[in-house]
Chains A and B, each alone.
Chain A
């Protein structure tokens, strides 16, 4: 079971690298989902290691936050796409008008 701890740490750092280096906004959101999923794995592993069920409750709330975050992020991206016709983060500036 110890291999899953290393997997969760690896997935979190991979998502961190992707979220900081990607240029496409949708790819950045995908990498953030990767990080949230890695944290979910950590919580389930802690629950299994300590025999405490509270950590699994946190997974519900993380999934809720992830769903809300994905919906709002995608709506922001669609609004930007209607306005500036691209999803590249370098093209986005609030002061561009």
Chain B
């Protein structure tokens, strides 16, 4: 139970830093830390494969990609990247209502009927059997999505970076 509270506090603090900080680099690094802490939460919940995927894909690929691009773009005038204050009250009200709605759903439905020792350990064989039998068509559609995103990124950056003949080799 102590480690649950510890992971929750770590996640909350670093997510707050992501939103509060005006420096995008600080935001990206704290998002990376939050992803690793969330992988710990998944491990605590017994789904170890999702935890490994979280570290590999989210922390290792997506957050590092953000940090890499931030280093490439070399944004040094981040002091004026503050939040927009005129929409803050309405956004605060809307998100507080969403938060209260979800909290009321959680309180009234009493989700917590499985204690920690009776959590079902997720078997990887079951997971992949489900993925490759029942969800085969969505899986193939996901590969099509990745292919489409690769084609989009390459064509967009090729157009924006100019007709460089050296780039055609790659």
Contacts of A44 in B (CB 8 A): 42, 45, 47, 50
- Count of chain A to chain B residue pairs whose CB atoms are closer than 8 Å in the complex: 216
A54 to B135, CA, bound (A): 9
Residue B170 at the A interface, CB < 8 A?
A: no
Check B45–A48 contact: CB distance below 8 A: yes
> How far, in angstroms, from A34 to B14 measured CA to CA in the complex?
11
Contacts of B63 in A (CB 8 A): 33
Taking a contact as CB atoms closer than 8 A, the residue among B41, B87, B99, B160 that contacts A79 in the complex is: B160
Instruction: Kindly state the separation between the CA atoms of A28 and B19 in the bound complex, as whole angstroms.
Output: 9
Q: Does any Cβ of B come within 8 Å of A68's Cβ? A: yes
CB-based contact B135/A57 at 8 Å: yes
Please judge, given known A-B contacts A9-B103, A75-B152, whether A27 and B81 are in contact too, CB under 8 Å: yes
Known: A67-B146, A68-B149. A24 touches B156 (CB 8 A): no
Interface of B is mostly: helix
Query: Given A9-B103, A56-B47, A61-B138, A70 and B113 touching (CB < 8 A)?
Result: no
* Given A30-B24, A56-B127, A57-B135, residue A63 in contact with residue B84 (CB < 8 A): no
Interface residues on B, range: 35 or more
How many residues of A sit at the interface, in one of the four size bands?
35 or more
Query: Chain A residue with minimal CB distance to B72?
Result: A78
A22 to chain B, nearest CB (A): 6
* 53-97 of chain A: CB within 8 A of chain B: 53-54, 56-57, 59-61, 63-68, 70-72, 74-79, 81-83, 87-88
Other A-B pairs, 12, CB within 8 Å; known A30-B18, A60-B53: A3-B4, A4-B41, A9-B102, A9-B103, A14-B95, A16-B94, A20-B87, A27-B27, A37-B38, A37-B58, A45-B45, A49-B112
